[in-house]
Chains A and B, each alone.
Chain A
Amino acid sequence: MEPGILMNLLVSVSIIFSAFAFSYTLCKYMKTQNQKSQPSLKALIFFWSLVGLYFLFEGLQLVLNMMGISDMSVFIHHIGSIPFVMISIPLTYFIIYILSGSKRISQSISLFFASMGAVYLYYMYLSGVSVINSKWGMIFTIKSSFAILTYILGLFVIPTAMILGLMILILFEKVARSVKYQLVLTLFSISFVFDFILLNMVLDTGEMQVASRIFVFLGTVLGYLAYFPPKFMEMKEPQIRPVTSGDDDLEQI
């Protein structure tokens, strides 16, 4: 057994567990949300679930590769491309809904991205993939440059620009630090994961693939830290002490 494939599998499994665990944890907090924030939380849960699902197929593909069943590996990779293209749908819904507040507009724009994803899948399946066997696992390279272009321009650039736009909007506004920390870190983690998933798809060396997956895992951890910060990072609220008699400040007034 190649240690590289094992390493690749270990990283993929880490992403699967962390992404699904994060989604599950967010689900438990659904009832604490008001009506306005529930749709965006659902989109966030869907996003992280799709990340976990995509890497589940990637992990399965690695296991089949280790067992020597290459044909099934390619088939599993094709199936895994479906959650891969769907990742931008909840992402755009999340951002558009936060900005506009309209479910209808968010759904329409998400539908546009779903259709772009369908175009990508069509050209990918039509032209097929070329397989490179490396000591880190099978590297799949899409033969259709149009499919790659569709993904980059249609599914990657626009959502990434939206993430940056929202991040800048909130960073420069007078909002509570805890809100700023949560949203900016959430968007940063989503962008991190999104960027390295794309890199994972287009790279043609095993080492870079594993490196990009490590960064995807780090992005997932950052997303978790956005909502569950460690104790030393928790925002300290100013201590409000009750008024007592003999308070020197009050006596001066």
Chain B
Amino acid sequence: MTLSRYEIKTENELEIANFYRSLGITSGEGDIIYRIIVLALAEKGEKSITTFSDIRNYADAVADKGNVGSKMKTVILLEGLAIKIERGGYVITEKGLVAADYLKRSTDYYNKRKMVKTIIERIPSLLRG
């Protein structure tokens, strides 16, 4: 299972993570570093190696190398979402693909909420002002 159709855009992922953080969800779908790492791993799929630099291509704009590395060790590898094949090389596991699928659904939910919010903003309401 790969996420080849899911395009990773750091600004969008940050917006989505901030949305979930505003709901009090500070980890998982609300954690931008977690999102970027899991989605970057899933982009390559379970048959290709994802290098640390592949992840940093997306993550550098929002986090530093130390935070990304720490998240990789303390969450991703520890929970078995990916396995380390070589120095700086990782492969996503089936569990990681499940996590990636969940993140994709969280993106769909965010997009739907955003669409409804923009529709409501366009509705004339006499309760404003």
Contacts and interface: CB of A to CB of B under 8 A. Distances in A.
Contact of B122 (A26, A31, A101): A101
- Chain A's interface size range is 20 to 34
B121 A34 contact: yes
Nearest to B123: A183
A239 to B, nearest CB: 18
B24 interface: no
- Chain B's interface size range is 10 to 19
Nearest to A28: B126
Interface of A: 26, 29, 31-34, 36-41, 44, 97-99, 101, 169-170, 173-175, 178-179, 182-183, 227-228
17 contacts: A26-B124, A31-B129, A33-B125, A34-B128, A36-B121, A36-B122, A37-B124, A39-B122, A41-B124, A98-B122, A98-B123, A101-B118, A170-B119, A174-B116, A179-B120, A182-B123, A228-B126
Interface in B19-46: none
A38 B121 CA distance: 10
Nearest to A45: B124
Considering the complex of A and B, which 9 residue pairs feature the smallest CB-CB distances, nearest first?
A32-B129, A41-B124, A37-B124, A36-B121, A98-B122, A29-B126, A36-B122, A173-B116, A227-B126
Interface of B: 116, 118-129
A98 B119 contact: yes
A33 B129 CA distance: 7
Contacts of B116: 173-175
A33 B128 contact: yes
Given A174-B116, A182-B123, 18 more contacts: A29-B129, A31-B129, A32-B129, A33-B125, A33-B128, A33-B129, A36-B118, A37-B121, A37-B122, A37-B124, A38-B124, A40-B122, A41-B124, A98-B119, A98-B123, A101-B122, A179-B125, A182-B125
Contacts of B123: 37, 40, 98, 179, 182-183
A173 B121 CA distance: 15
**Residue among B121, B122, B128, B129 with max Cβ neighbours from chain A (10 Å):** B122
Contacts of B126: 29, 32, 227-228
A38 B126 CA distance: 11
A169 B112 CA distance: 11
**Residue among B119, B123, B125 with max Cβ neighbours from chain A (10 Å):** B123
A34 B125 CA distance: 10
A44 B122 CA distance: 12
Contacts of A170: 119
Nearest to B117: A175
Contacts of A40: 122-124
B69 to A, nearest CB: 38
A33 B124 contact: yes
